[in-house]
Amino acid sequence: ALPLDGGVENPRCLGVISAAERPFWLGADPITDALIDSIRVVDPDKEPMFLKNRPAINVPSLVPSEFDPPETFPALGRARRIRHLVVFEGGRGE
């Protein structure tokens, strides 16, 4: 599950971006060193040992019983809710 609802104070969104053409710099320099500074493994079958002392967070249902009317977010424009996702108007233009 992705907790994307940050409320009015912390709006969040999930998006995708891709290049229309291959970037000129891709492959210009060979990768000689690759170091992993940190790693985090999320395993739902293990007990979350570091989360026991954190307070629970209320989240909306992933399957709302009815569709919400379109909402307006001043910084983001109109949006509509489809199941547990919020879809913002705009995006890809032809």
Domain regions of the chain by residue span: 1-94
pLDDT in tens, 1-45: 466 677 777 777 777 777 888 888 888 888 788 787 877 776 767
Amino acid identity, position 91: G
- For residue 88, what is the enclosing H or E element? strand 85-88
What's the pTM value of the predicted model, to 2 decimals?
Answer: 0.22
CA gap 21, 16 in Å, rounded:
16
Which of the two residues, 89 and 76, has the higher pLDDT score? 89
